[in-house]
Amino acid sequence: MEESSQSVVRVIRCIVCPTGCEIQVKKNESGDISFEGYTCKRGLEYAQQEYYEPKRILTTTMRVQNGFLPLVPVRTDVPILKDKLEEAVKEIAVKQIKAPIKAGDILIENILGSGANIIASRDLSEIQ
Amino acid sequence: MIKYETDVAVIGSGAAGLAAAVEVKKAGLGVLILERDRELGGITLQCIHNGFGLKEFNEELTGPEYAQRFINEVHKLQIPYELDTMVIEIKPGTPEKQYKTLIAINKREGVINIQAKAVILAMGCRERPRGAINIPGFRPSGIYTAGQAQRFVNMEGWLPGKTYVILGSGDIGMIMARRLTWEGCKVKAVVEILPYVSGLLRNQVQCLEDYDIPLITNYTVTKIHGANRIKGVTISKVDRNFDRVIGTDKFIECDTLLLSVGLIPENELTFNAGAELSSNNGPIVDNNLETTIEGVFACGNVLQVHDLVDLVTAEAKRAGNYAIDYINNRYGNDTKKNGQIKCIAGENVNYVKPDVINKSDIAKEIIFTFRVRYPDRRVLIQFKDENGVIYKKKKIYVIPSEMIELNLNLEEIGLNKDCKRIEIEVIPRPEVLIEED
């Protein structure tokens, strides 16, 4: 801003290591994006991913019928777009699955067309 | 009374107990796991978020997945275990009778008696409750520790409330803030008495900042409102001595307060058995993770609270191997007879494990783990014996929430063999002082 025509469009706090660099995402007049403030290559890669396409592994629970526990922990097998997390949680919340369940079982295929499956995080036996 | 006899009794079946038991069984020795909960796995079962296993398995797993791998191993190796079983007493062996006695209770068998050549303590830690931090106000319902709420939400299917204030920025508190947001609840604030977050940076970013949950540092809860159900809390700014600053009170309406204000190794059993505890409330151990009771070893969060389950597993495997060595090679012998060197926590060091080093082991690699008291940048980690500094290491950044681990061979770094103590300190680097002058 002060020394050039670049403006800071976002500040990303790097979580790759405990140093926690603040990486500034800058845009110049012609719309080119640049990154500043990172101190290692992994930091730059993290900031680029976070800026262009932030993704997360979603972890939540799904209701279970006649299970040893009323819930089974589940997750996406690959990261999904951060913007889709809330919708995915809601989709999982309305489903119910039958015990017994094995860790790794696919409980929902290709959730919201994201390419990610919802898989069980643990074994869960039937209630005796 | 039903009696069991085994080589090694493992108390607790969380990450530490499972890894230790598997290690012992693989060496061909008998092992029995005693677990007070309804199933194997411990606290990792309720930690449904990911981030586990990067060191141990080189992949990113959730807590239940991590536990499942060890549970599968327990079944494969046919390791016996007792569930819903609470160990209530440990009796050390005597010179005439080397077996230790454990007294335990469960609903199926009543009081049971376990005879073991070695015992591995793996009982984990518990959360600091409201009483430990003295918040004034009534005693309405709606106050939980963060881990308790985590169990309710992730395993039992109960939601403790709808609008939350979380006191303390420990990892479980921050992870619950995100979890509750996903469950449709409103987390109004995370309030931290210190000027910085107590948990890991990644949790601050991914659990709070991602969901615009305010983090209010230098504040604490000074009053709990509501008689039957909590109606809100007053938070106030604190000064450097944690005293309330007059005129800074703010009221936040909420129906639930979660406490994420620290973890304490759970050692009543250890203490009652006669083992000495150190300042972190974990048992005093030597470099073989042996407590002050011969043949009783400790690992995982009962020894020291860890940041990563992978580190718990690594420590538990070591404890398992030390118990194996104890039984196979020196059952009844005492390596401590050649004398010990005390490890002292010096400047900006909260505690050090191991607490003591056997002089007969100083030619071996020893894993030191410790935490700083406060965050600092550009520091020097120093080991000193009575003659002066024997080891230095630079570190860019230290923070209490990150345990520091150093692998050292004391003989190689020139330790004076006749010394009685070594001191570990984390001090500002001298060149920084010069720059600032």
Selecting from A19, A60, A71 the residue whose C-beta is nearest the C-beta of B157 gives A71
A47 and A37 Cβ atoms separated by less than 8 Å: no
What is the per-residue pLDDT for B436?
47
Summarize pLDDT for A88-124 with one digit per residue, the tens: 999 999 999 999 999 999 999 999 999 999 999 999 9
Summarize pLDDT for B129-144 with one digit per residue, the tens: 877 677 888 889 999 9
Q: Answer whether B182 sits within 8 Å of A57, measured CB to CB.
A: no
Summarize pLDDT for B400-414 with one digit per residue, the tens: 888 999 999 998 888
B340: Cβ contacts below 8 Å, ≥ 6 apart: B286, B356, B357, B358, B359
B368: Cβ contacts below 8 Å, ≥ 6 apart: B343, B352, B353, B354, B405, B406, B407, B408, B424
Asked if the C-beta of B45 comes within 8 angstroms of chain A's C-beta atoms, the answer is: yes
Cβ–Cβ pairs < 8 A, chains A and B: 67
Selecting from B60, B71, B154 the residue whose C-beta is nearest the C-beta of A61 gives B154
Summarize pLDDT for B205-232 with one digit per residue, the tens: 999 999 999 999 999 999 999 999 999 9
Asked if the C-beta of B50 comes within 8 angstroms of chain A's C-beta atoms, the answer is: yes
**Least Cα separation, residue B40 to chain A (angstroms):** 12
Of B108 and B1, more confident: B108
B101: Cβ contacts below 8 Å, ≥ 6 apart: B89, B90, B91, B113, B114, B115
Summarize pLDDT for B91-116 with one digit per residue, the tens: 998 777 789 999 999 999 999 999 99
3-state secondary structure of B44: helix
What is the per-residue pLDDT for B437?
42
Selecting from A18, A89, A122 the residue whose C-beta is nearest the C-beta of B182 gives A89
Summarize pLDDT for B290-324 with one digit per residue, the tens: 999 999 999 999 999 998 899 999 999 999 999 99
B25 and B135 Cβ atoms separated by less than 8 Å: no
Other CB atoms within 10 Å distance of the CB of residue A46: 21
Say if residue B434's pLDDT is above 60.
no
Asked if the C-beta of B201 comes within 8 angstroms of chain A's C-beta atoms, the answer is: yes
B residues 71-110 near A, CB within 8 Å?
71
What is the per-residue pLDDT for A3?
54
Say if residue B336's pLDDT is above 90.
no
- A57 to chain B: which residues are within 8 Å by CB? 50, 60
Q: Answer whether B399 sits within 8 Å of A13, measured CB to CB.
A: no
Domain boundaries, chain A: 3-52, 59-120
Mean pLDDT of B20-43: 97
Selecting from B65, B206, B402 the residue whose C-beta is nearest the C-beta of A15 gives B206
**Least Cα separation, residue B348 to chain A (angstroms):** 18
What is the per-residue pLDDT for A116?
96
**Mean pLDDT by groups of 10 residues along chain A of 128 residues:** 72 82 91 91 92 94 96 96 94 95 97 96 94
Share of chain B above pLDDT 90, in %: 79
Domain boundaries A59-120, corresponding CATH code: 3.10.530.10
Report d(CA A13, CA A37) in Å as an integer.
10
Mean pLDDT of B277-288: 95
Say if residue B72's pLDDT is above 80.
yes
Q: How far is CA B129 from CA B126, B134, B257, in A?
A: 9, 9, 12
3-state secondary structure of B76: helix
- A71 to chain B: which residues are within 8 Å by CB? 154-157
What is the per-residue pLDDT for B414?
86
Q: Among all chains, which residue has been given the structure tokens 């997750």?
A: A75
Q: Answer whether B48 sits within 8 Å of A19, measured CB to CB.
A: no
At A84, give phi and psi (nearest 5°).
-90, -5
What is the secondary structure of B171-217 as a DSSP string?
A: HHHHHHHHHHHHTT-EEEEEEESSSS-SS-HHHIIIIIGGGT--EEE
Q: Measuring CA to CA, which residue among B397, B398, B312 is closest to residue B52?
A: B312
Summarize pLDDT for B116-175 with one digit per residue, the tens: 999 999 999 999 887 767 788 888 999 999 999 999 999 999 999 999 999 999 899 999
What is the per-residue pLDDT for B93?
80
What is the per-residue pLDDT for A128?
81
State the ipTM, two decimals: 0.88
Q: How confident is the model at residue B183 (pLDDT cuts 50, 70, 90)?
A: very high
Q: How confident is the model at residue B334 (pLDDT cuts 50, 70, 90)?
A: low
What is the per-residue pLDDT for B335?
67
Selecting from B48, B179, B402 the residue whose C-beta is nearest the C-beta of A121 gives B48
- Alpha-helical runs (H) found in B265-401: 268-272, 309-328
Q: Which of A40, A46, A59 to mutate to test the interface with B (most CBs of B within 10 A)?
A: A59
Pairing of strands B296-298, B110-121: parallel
